[in-house]
Amino acid sequence: MKYTRLTKQQLEELHPEFINFLATQSITGDDWKQLKEDKPEVAEDEIDVFSDLIWEGVLSKVAYLENISALQMHLFHCTEKEMKLISVKVMNPDVDLTTSLGFSWFKKNWQSDFVEYLTAAKAYTDDRNLDKFNLIKQGAVITKGELYQWFEKVIVTS
């Protein structure tokens, strides 16, 4: 398995897609029940293959990722050839960016000496989607990129 198995809830939400996936392999509903009973390891393998297919589809569309902790923000823009990073570090231990109060402080003080910025870019490895997935495993979430885009404008105009 390349990524990670979808959760039970995710599989339930993707039930129609899973049925279509099984149908492409000529596995009927009755076949699936039989497979789960007689060869559970084969059924597990089918779920793993389906999970990887779903992940591939999702990851291929990811353009922005964010990983925000108490004192840091790592904002990623996944372009065609590379991954761009805007890193924000708050040097005020009383601030927690994961709270609304902490983020409000940041919005008022983003230009202060208590905030450091770094930008970087990194080429993908041979597997762009796996690079994105590894960031998700480390705590990043898929976003629409509003925060990244705002910072990009601010940094370019500064």
Summarize pLDDT for 52-89 with one digit per residue, the tens.
999 999 999 999 999 999 999 999 999 999 999 999 99
Taking all residues of the chain, what is their mean pLDDT, rounded to a whole number? Answer: 94
* Euclidean distance between CA atoms 118 and 91, whole angstroms: 14
pLDDT band for position 153 (cuts 50, 70, 90): confident
| CA atoms lying within 13 Å on the CB side of residue 52 | 9
Per-residue pLDDT, averaged over 105-111, amounts to: 92
Domain layout of the chain by residue ranges: 8-61, 64-157
> In degrees, to the nearest 5, what angle opens at C-alpha 108 toward C-alphas 102 and 113?
90
